[in-house]
Amino acid sequence: MFLFNETSPSDEELRGASAELLRSYYAAKASINPNIVPPSVPSTIPKVFADTVAQQGESTALMAVSEYQGMLQNFFVGLIGAKRVLEIGSFTGSSAIFFANALKRNGVAGGLGASGHKPVIGLDISERYANIARKNFVNAGVEDYVDIIVGDARANLASLEGQVFDIVFLDADKPSYQYYYDTVIEKGIVAKSGLIIADNTAFDCTTPFIGLPAPVPNSAKPLEVTFRKFPDSDELGKTIHEFNEYVRHDPRTEVLMLPLYTGITLIRLLDG
């Protein structure tokens, strides 16, 4: 719950506020001080969001990562010294702009690398969203940093075998998360020292399923592609719950869910 939605409170109003109020403010806004925009927030991000609201409507626009989440992703790029990022689900480009900007700020060169691709690859099924994203990359000055590959990511992921990414961001269709997760691990698409970030892993609709049995790695069938329509909220909750249980029981990885927004799961490979 974010209590500061419309206006930024002044320092005087924040001083002495309850810790709960203060935390909700930190989580809702990119900066502790509303007058300071952190350097990790690209200057065009507010416009990308405003344009997306205007063109797609607010509820659809909310699919974009928030500034705070973008800053978090930015921080991870610097922390692990990422050079390449794979994003599954790019929409109108917000998270890709954050990743690209972070790589640029960390001295990674743009343009085509040895793989024939730019440092960030985004996969999205929508040509329309991809075209909007590409324009947003130009406006953000990161067009040399991002390639969008249009099509079903379940099919296109296989074509990336042989390429290695330091960060893989899962933010497309939730029923395919487990497939994406298994594929990037089993095909070596995520670096051994890399990070998988899965978004929306604590959606409200998951709560009815907490504690219910779900497939765990030794009973699941990795790499089996099943094409499923986008689920209703019951199915969505179940599918996210199953993904959470799957990764939580997976001996290959260490998992930490950040209880921010609709849940952000961080996953890293364990040795061996």
Count of CB atoms situated within 10 Å of the CB of 51: 17
Interface with ligand SAM includes 101 (CB under 6 A)? no
Instruction: Give dist(CA 61, CA 272) in Å, integer.
Output: 41
Interface with ligand SAM includes 95 (CB under 6 A)? yes
Residue type, 163: Q
The residues in 114-173 that bind ligand SAM, with binding defined as CB under 6 A, are 123-126, 129, 152-154, 171-173
From 90-98, 241-249, 253-261, 263-271, give the range in contact with ligand SAM by CB under 6 A. Answer: 90-98
| Among 4, 25, 91, 137, interactor with ligand SAM by CB under 6 A | 91
Instruction: Give dist(CA 93, CA 48) in Å, integer.
Output: 8
| Residue 212: DSSP 8-state | S
Instruction: Give dist(CA 252, CA 268) in Å, integer.
Output: 9
Q: Is the CB of 85 or the CB of 191 nearer to ligand SAM?
A: 85
Instruction: Give dist(CA 271, CA 269) in Å, integer.
Output: 6
Query: Residue with structure tokens 């994003």?
Result: 87
Q: Is the CB of 166 or the CB of 173 nearer to ligand SAM?
A: 173
Q: Is the CB of 7 or the CB of 231 nearer to ligand SAM?
A: 231
Count of CB atoms situated within 10 Å of the CB of 223: 10
From 1-9, 39-47, 84-92, 113-121, give the range in contact with ligand SAM by CB under 6 A. Answer: 84-92
Shortest distance in whole angstroms from residue 127 CB to ligand SAM: 10
From 15-23, 62-70, 186-194, 245-253, give the range in contact with ligand SAM by CB under 6 A. Answer: 62-70
CA angle centred on 234, ends 223 and 129, rounded to 5°: 65
Interface with ligand SAM includes 65 (CB under 6 A)? yes
Residue type, 265: T
Shortest distance in whole angstroms from residue 229 CB to ligand SAM: 11
Count of CB atoms situated within 10 Å of the CB of 186: 13
Residue type, 134: R
Interface with ligand SAM includes 89 (CB under 6 A)? yes
Count of CB atoms situated within 10 Å of the CB of 87: 29
Interface with ligand SAM includes 64 (CB under 6 A)? yes
Determine contact, residues 223/179, Cβ cutoff 8 Å. yes
Q: Is the CB of 22 or the CB of 257 nearer to ligand SAM?
A: 257
From 87-95, 112-120, 188-196, 214-222, give the range in contact with ligand SAM by CB under 6 A. Answer: 87-95
What residues line the site for ligand SAM (CB under 6 A)?
Answer: 63-65, 89-92, 94-95, 123-126, 129, 152-154, 171-173, 176
